[in-house]
Structure 1
Amino acid sequence: MNLAELIEVIQTQKTERMVEAVVTSLTTDSRDVKPGTLFVAIKGYTVDGHDYAKQAEAQGAVAIVSERLLDVTIPVILVRSTTRAMAELAGKFYDYPSEKMRMIGITGTNGKTTTTTIVRDVLAQLGRKTGIIGTVEVKIGDRVVPSRNTTPQSSELQAFFHQMHQEGVEDVIMEVSSHGLELGRVTGTDFDVAGFTNLTHDHLDFHKTFENYARAKGLLFAQLGQRLSDKKVAVLNADDEISHLFEMMTGARVLTYGIEQPADLQAKNITQTLQETTFTMVYQEQAVELTVQFIGRFNVYNLLLATGILLSIGYSLTEISNAITQIQPAKGRMQRLPIDGYNIYVDYAHTPDGIEQCLKALVDVPKENIIFLIGTGGNRDVTKRPMMGQLASTYAGTVVITTDDPRFESYESITSGIASGMLHDQFVEIGDREEAVRYAASLARPDNIVILAGKGHEKYQIIGDEKTPLDEEALVKEMIRQLEEKK
């Protein structure tokens, strides 16, 4: 695309040394620059792209979009915000692919991955070709595509959308993080439906206050637009009071779901076991009873949100419920490991609410029969750690306190923060997560339950700035094998 034509979509403050040039790619990462690239210099938390301007020039960049003057000989386009500019440029460069597919965005603290997976699986059963962008993976149809972030940078995101459209994807289901919203990564993405799971304590290291966190999430609903001719829908949790704020922020039609409060879509008569959940879904005076392989009340909320999204795009309650009964939970979300004779689960819970909901799912299990491994990340929100310890000890008789991604923080600093909230003394602090997993698995018995929380589907730990392989399922299976041999 012609450089001058491309930059027409951004508000420029000044241009220097403009020349005729053809742009063949966009990037914010200087390592990806090649001849023909338009390099957008973004100031991040640890790296400032402006410092790599000369490197980008040396590698063949045709121009640089910047927030300040640069000592280079190629064209420089000055803008107020390079983050916003990149989103606008990427949309134009890839010819606005999100306008050509049905776009479903899901935000909230907990439940995003499970809900996106449910929606994707139901749509696939109903014959639609889907794309998914989430914490676990980016998928086009059944093919996994590598991604660097939960919500990719806008240039990478628009490239994914373009690729999906080229490959015939009809519906894109996307987890939309508060970071991605705050940093403008989804600016220019044309969502048709936005769904909200819940809002609980998390990411305050980034957002500083709960109010800021809520406002960031609300951007998804505000960006649905004001044109009444566009049949856009916000699907909101009636049992979470923040939904009132989001309803005020959006110009879209609102569909509510819930269990406790009156809602358009409601779950009633919920009964649970350790293997399945049965409940009745009620919508517009129609009621269907369904039994699903998901456990826990929190998963009823996820199923309600997924159903609300699917209702809003035209499917019937009967179609949706029939498909839901056939699907399995997302990887790493209260996922029972396939070990005969033992009840061992992995879960992604790493927030106070996530921990509480995870443990509440263990209906009719005596507290003393629950072994709960709990971890949290280093160099992140420390205020949630005592609450995590308090909740773990409220519901579990034995608690193993460890880390998940320690990064550059000491083990003791992380585990002591969690331990400070404990309500009983039946706990141990083991900072090395691999050692902690082995210890927790060694406590497994046929009559108790072990839950490994914090990593879920992930097969690695971040120690320092390196990803270190860690396969918890393999560790557990090996420990159980050793236990069996000693019998």
Structure 2
Amino acid sequence: MKEGKDLNLTDLAKHIQLINQPNLQAIPVTHVTTDSREVVPGTLFVAIKGYTVDGHDYAELAVSKGAVAVVSERPLSLSVPNLIVRDSTRSVGLLASAFYQYPSEQMRLFGITGTNGKTTTTTILRDVLTELGHSTGLIGTVEVRINDTVVPSKNTTPQSSELQQLLARMHAEGVTDVMMEVSSHGLELGRVIGTDFDIVGFTNLTHDHLDFHGTFENYARAKGLLFAQLGQMASRHKVAVLNADDPYSKLYETMTGARVITYAIDAMADVTASDIVQTLSETSFCLNYQGERHPLTVQFIGRFNVYNILLATGCLLAAGYRLPEIVQALEAIHPAKGRMQRLDVPGYNVYADYAHTPDGIEQCLKSLVGVPKEKIVFLIGTGGNRDVTKRPTMGEMASKYAGTVVITTDDPRFEAYDSITSGIAAGMTHDNFVEIGDREEAVRYAAKLAESDNIVVLAGKGHEKYQIIGNEKIPLDEEAIVRATILKTEES
């Protein structure tokens, strides 16, 4: 089999369905991309029509920078071969996968989808497999990690050519197991076409991203694509791990030809948790599978994290690991950054969480077991120019569980502060709240309310150290702001 850098245009063209008959030659191809800024001599440029930018408009620029051919959805007047396809988004996944010699087939690939819990579950899987001595890769919201090397993440699910290049790099660096968050956007936009998953898991499905998908049914269908694309070859060991407590798992089971493992807390399932005991620092429960019962205590808080651990366990069982070794590794690992993460503020109980959906907010606050409602200060924010229908429900959930609510923004983008905060405030069921559109100011306000016997939760940004205002990413270190504010308050 030829190496990627030895492939030529004629070789690659065989992997896509052309609707024209261009005069192809064995021109060496050195790179495949959809970004004209990344074009170098020898590049095969694929023009994709996005929501804000049309790659067809950059085809001539790509040629001027050395592109040897252009794949497009319409004829273009160019000095290089123009390969016309029905769907260039689908084509780039197939082309990039072939160019990099199908890297996903050379490693074991775990894919996790769902509304909430993707980051935590993939991180649990990565940490457990690392604990068990494997070389691992992680692709997700917080970061891309190749063993101990961290690469900033642009999207939860990278664009096809970027994804295949990343997987190829992981394989070249000796990675054996890759954990990947698979977003509904990535599935709908075809970013994982050409990627061969071995084990995929489903967390849950709740209200989110309706600005993109239009309806909840479309959102659910998009998630289901991961299971439908898992493959039908009976000789290949493919497994889907589904949450039996979520009704959409029944739909996804009908969509896949793979073996199914279920997990649950309430329903009957293959992997279950019982005797759950929660505190503000750890959770204990009994992990059950095929007659085996193993008690464990983990450094994760909240019932939602029990679900994440059950899903990770199901994936690891599907991969052939035994329950005792899984339990031992689970007890040795720590929570992901920004997922009910206790901030380093001595003497105070301040947490950061990524919750930005109604369900995420409810699960986040319900994890604060035994804490009186009046002792919880909850900062809540959401993004601008995004799904507005979830805002009142977010306010309702916040006021249901928190005695004091600070309503702010997340990434306001181009939307006015008061437009965002008023949408959340519309769902509030008590009057003990304040609207502060400037998130930095809102974090300071919440920090001033911190006391030794109460709990402050900063929700919406989690691990992120920035906010998007207009088109700019503005640095925002909420942990540093909290520490400085509390120190100043103590000194005054």
TM-score, with normalisation over the residues of structure 1? 0.99
Note the 1:181-330 alignment, pairs <5 A: 181-330=187-336
Equivalent residue for 1:465, pick from 446, 453, 471: 471
In 2, Cα distance between the equivalents of 1:149 and 1:374? 23
The secondary structure found in structure 2 opposite 1:9 is coil
1:456 maps onto 2:462 in alignment: yes
Q: Counterpart of 1:62? A: 68
Q: Which amino acid aligns with 1:114?
A: T
- Could you tell me which runs of 5 or more consecutive residues in structure 1 were left unpaired when the two chains were aligned: none
The secondary structure found in structure 2 opposite 1:188 is coil
Deviation at 1:52, TM superposition (A): 0.7
1:91 maps onto 2:97 in alignment: yes
Could you say what the CA RMSD is over the residues aligned between the two structures, in angstroms?
Answer: 0.8
Q: Counterpart of 1:108? A: 114
8 Å Cα contact 1:398-1:427 kept in structure 2: yes
In 2, Cα distance between the equivalents of 1:259 and 1:427? 34
8 Å Cα contact 1:17-1:74 kept in structure 2: no
The secondary structure found in structure 1 opposite 2:222 is helix
**Which string of whole-angstrom CA distances, capped at 9 and with x for unpartnered residues, describes residues 326-377 of structure 1?**
1100000000011111000000000000000000001111111100000000
Q: Counterpart of 1:393? A: 399
In 1, Cα distance between the equivalents of 2:155 and 2:344? 29
Equivalent residue for 1:474, pick from 471, 475, 480: 480
Equivalent residue for 1:151, pick from 136, 152, 157: 157
Deviation at 1:145, TM superposition (A): 2.0
Deviation at 1:20, TM superposition (A): 3.9
The secondary structure found in structure 1 opposite 2:20 is strand
Q: Counterpart of 2:167? A: 161
Deviation at 1:21, TM superposition (A): 1.5
Deviation at 1:406, TM superposition (A): 0.6
Note the 1:119-134 alignment, pairs <5 A: 119-134=125-140
8 Å Cα contact 2:412-2:469 kept in structure 1: yes
In 2, Cα distance between the equivalents of 1:483 and 1:293? 31
In 1, Cα distance between the equivalents of 2:423 and 2:475? 25
The secondary structure found in structure 1 opposite 2:19 is strand
1:426 maps onto 2:424 in alignment: no
Q: Identity, % of aligned pairs?
A: 71
8 Å Cα contact 1:18-1:76 kept in structure 2: no
Q: Which amino acid aligns with 1:240?
A: D
The secondary structure found in structure 2 opposite 1:304 is helix
Q: Which amino acid aligns with 1:458?
A: E
The secondary structure found in structure 2 opposite 1:38 is strand
Q: Counterpart of 2:4? A: none
Q: Counterpart of 1:82? A: 88
8 Å Cα contact 2:9-2:24 kept in structure 1: no
Deviation at 1:187, TM superposition (A): 0.8
**Which string of whole-angstrom CA distances, capped at 9 and with x for unpartnered residues, describes residues 41-81 of structure 1?**
00111100001111111111111000011122211100000
**Which string of whole-angstrom CA distances, capped at 9 and with x for unpartnered residues, describes residues 365-391 of structure 1?**
111110000000011100000000000
Displaced runs of 4 or more, over 3 A:
15-20
Deviation at 1:449, TM superposition (A): 0.5
The secondary structure found in structure 2 opposite 1:356 is helix
**Which string of whole-angstrom CA distances, capped at 9 and with x for unpartnered residues, describes residues 125-184 of structure 1?**
101000000100111101012332110011000001111111110000100001111111
**Which string of whole-angstrom CA distances, capped at 9 and with x for unpartnered residues, describes residues 454-485 of structure 1?**
00000000111111100000000000111211
In 2, Cα distance between the equivalents of 1:472 and 1:70? 49
Q: Which amino acid aligns with 1:39?
A: F
In 1, Cα distance between the equivalents of 2:475 and 2:130? 32
TM-score, with normalisation over the residues of structure 2? 0.98
- Could you tell me which runs of 5 or more consecutive residues in structure 2 were left unpaired when the two chains were aligned: 1-6
Q: Which amino acid aligns with 2:415?
A: E
